[in-house]
């Protein structure tokens, strides 16, 4: 492995919530550890590279997501092959939806996604907007900002996190995202990886493990940005009434 290759798919079409910050975080966390990284940007209609080590798809409005469904369908076979070979992927918002088995639109039309994440996405009229705090099964916490109008039907997969606090305007929302081994879908913005850098490191660790390598220890620069992220999560938790929780 000469360089870890990160694919930023649909960077031009999807990225209204600052999700390019996820890719910047992945790149910087590798470079600060002395590793070489190559970010490959592929827009709609452009060919995919032959090999990648990590895939990121960001967020965007429903109209942009729907306009890309034909394109992602043409790439579904390659995305599935990468996922089966252990390539970690993260889809945020619309990117999460595009990686799903299918999307059921408001008029009842069901359209196929890339069938990478074992979920069905159902468009709804009520929008979920606001800060959220969630807990993983191992006790770690995620924080960020939700902004979506869908329901997620999970098939043979667990949520990424159980929500401790969700936007006050939404009732009955108890789970966030989905996780299937090295594949992640989420609606958390912030962006999610700079806000929750341990999640970025998990994706990088999975990518390096395919080459029998480990993620080198963090240096002072990594520890510094991680502390800034921790403080941001603490602030979100406090605003949601969870003062003093370990984040």
- The three-class DSSP label of residue 21 is helix
pLDDT digits (tens, 9 = 90+) for 195-218: 999 999 999 999 999 999 999 999
CB 122 within 8 A of CB 157: no
pLDDT digits (tens, 9 = 90+) for 118-170: 999 999 999 999 999 999 989 999 999 999 999 999 998 999 999 998 775 56
What's the rounded Cα separation, in Å, for the pair 192 and 200? 9
All structural domains of the chain with their residue ranges: 4-239
- The three-class DSSP label of residue 226 is helix
pLDDT digits (tens, 9 = 90+) for 81-110: 999 999 999 999 999 999 999 999 999 999
What's the rounded Cα separation, in Å, for the pair 7 and 40? 5
What CATH fold (topology level) applies to the domain 4-239?
A: Rossmann fold (3.40.50)
Residue 171 has pLDDT above 70, yes or no: no
Residue 38 has pLDDT above 80, yes or no: yes
SS (H, E, C) 45-96: CCCCCCCCCEEEECCCCHHHHHHCHHHHHHHHHHHHHHHHCCCCEEEECHHH
Q: Which sign does the torsion angle of CA 135, 141, 147, 153 carry?
A: negative
pLDDT of the residue at 15:
86
pLDDT of the residue at 58:
97
pLDDT of the residue at 172:
64
Residue 83, token pair as written in the block: 């996922």
């Amino acid at each position: 492995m000469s360089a870890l290759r990160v694919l930023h798919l649909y960077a031009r079409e999807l990225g209204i919530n600052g999700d390019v910050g996820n890719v910047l975080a992945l790149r910087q966390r590798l470079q600060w550890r002395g590793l070489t990284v190559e970010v490959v940007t592929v827009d709609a209609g452009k060919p995919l590279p032959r090999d990648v080590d990590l895939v990121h798809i960001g967020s965007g409005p429903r109209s942009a997501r729907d306009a890309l469904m034909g394109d992602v369908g043409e790439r579904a076979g390659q995305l599935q092959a990468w996922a089966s070979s252990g390539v970690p992927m993260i889809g945020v918002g619309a990117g999460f939806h595009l990686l799903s088995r299918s999307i059921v639109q408001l008029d009842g039309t069901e359209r196929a996604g890339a069938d990478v994440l074992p979920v069905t996405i159902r468009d709804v009229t009520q929008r979920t907007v606001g800060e959220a705090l969630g807990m993983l099964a191992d006790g770690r916490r995620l924080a960020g900002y939700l902004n979506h109008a869908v329901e997620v039907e999970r098939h043979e997969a667990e949520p990424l996190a159980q929500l401790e606090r969700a936007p006050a305007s939404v009732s009955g929302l108890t789970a966030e995202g989905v996780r299937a081994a090295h594949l992640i879908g989420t609606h958390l913005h912030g962006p999610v990886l700079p806000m929750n850098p341990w999640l970025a490191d998990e994706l990088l660790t999975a990518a390096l493990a395919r080459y029998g390598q480990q993620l080198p220890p963090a240096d002072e620069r990594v520890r510094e940005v991680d502390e800034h992220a921790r403080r941001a999560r603490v602030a979100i938790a406090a605003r949601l009434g969870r003062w003093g929780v370990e984040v």
